[in-house]
Amino acid sequence: MNTKGVVYLVGSGPGDPDLLTVKALRLMCSADVVVYDRLVSPEIMAMVPPGVTRIAVGKAPGMHCVPQDEINSLLTSLAKRARNIVRLKGGDPFVFGRGSEEALYLHQHGIRFEVVPGITAASAVTTYAGIPLTHRSMSRGVRLVTGHFREDEALELDWEKLADTTATLVVYMGLSNLGEIVQQLIDVGRGPDTPAAVIQEGTTPRQRMVQGTLATLNQRVAEAGLSSPVIIIVGETVTLAEQLAWFEPQEVCDETPCIDRC
């Protein structure tokens, strides 16, 4: 297929516009069309230049705005008409972002594409909350898993491996299954008193965090009324947040991005 367009699968990071990569910002500034997800923060969308066509295809839990196969077809169709198509995704396109699915579809249909990494939530959100992913004597590794399968399939994870006390566990998209997640971890031997936290909309002015243990986390999150998007962190390094949390949500600009527009 001969197309004149290039599709850039761009990671926008977790929400703070100051965490955009230079390449991501450059491509946003030169885009003809921006196709964006629900998880791209309003602060970042405010940086898209006026006049650029914007197409929302965001998917919320249980409310899929545009099915994935239609997004794939849309990108192919746009590549026939536009020169620079930015497919803007929250976090990193290849970390639970379906970026690889879209890239494979584009490849199979002869569409030129590039993938631009973004800072994934496991790294950025925990850092803003003062929770190191690794720390000598506390955590020797990190495990990243999804807490929600497509089409609401049963949550089938290797819980025995996730009970490893030497590693920090980070769960993406797990709010709706939080009760099951903490109970499964306890059932396979992770102590009920294991420190754990849930962080909502990390790195943005709307960041909120609830801390507790595996035994108390589900109830505390319910009482706090947290909503998606969140990440769940399980492990001893959660306790360091009391000393290392440095981020004050109001420090992020509420209306105008902290860095200059294009």
Task: Note the CATH architecture for domain 6-119.
Answer: 3-Layer(aba) Sandwich (3.40)
- pLDDT at position 112, please? 95
Please confirm, yes or no, whether 161 is among the known catalytic residues.
Answer: no
Quote the pLDDT of residue 63.
54
Cβ(199)–Cβ(167) under 8 Å? no
The three-state secondary structure class of 210 is strand
Q: Which two tokens stand for residue 247?
A: 């981020």
User: What are the residue ranges of CATH 3.40.1010.10 in the chain?
Assistant: 6-119
Report the pLDDT value the prediction gives residue 153, as an integer from 0 to 100.
Answer: 74
Q: Tell me if residue 193 is catalytic.
A: no
Confidence at residue 82, expressed as pLDDT on a 0 to 100 scale: 81
List per-residue pLDDT tens for the chain, 262 residues long: 556 799 999 999 999 999 999 999 999 999 999 999 999 999 999 999 999 999 999 765 555 568 899 999 999 999 988 899 999 999 999 999 999 999 999 999 999 999 999 999 999 999 999 999 999 999 999 999 999 876 667 788 999 999 999 999 999 999 999 999 999 999 999 999 999 999 999 999 999 999 999 999 999 999 999 999 999 999 999 999 999 999 998 755 544 444 555 6
What does the pLDDT read at residue 155? 85
Task: Write the DSSP assignment of 106-174 as a string of letters.
Answer: HHHTT-EEEEE----HHHHHHHHTT--S-BTTTBSEEEEEES--GGG------HHHHT-TTEEEEEES-
Task: Tell me which of 23, 32, 59, 164 is the catalytic residue.
Answer: 59
Angstrom distance (rounded) from CA 124 to CA 85: 26
Q: How many degrees, rounded to 5, is the angle at CA 18 between CA 57 and CA 26?
A: 65
CA angle 70, 71, 76 (to 5 degrees): 95
* CATH 3.30.950.10 holds for 122-244: yes
Q: Decide if 240 contacts 137 (C-beta within 8 A).
A: no
With CA atoms as reference, report the closest residue to 229 among 150, 173, 146: 173
Catalytic residue among 16, 37, 89, 92: 37
- The boundaries of every CATH 3.30.950.10 domain in the chain are 122-244
Peptide bond into 229 cis (omega under 30): yes
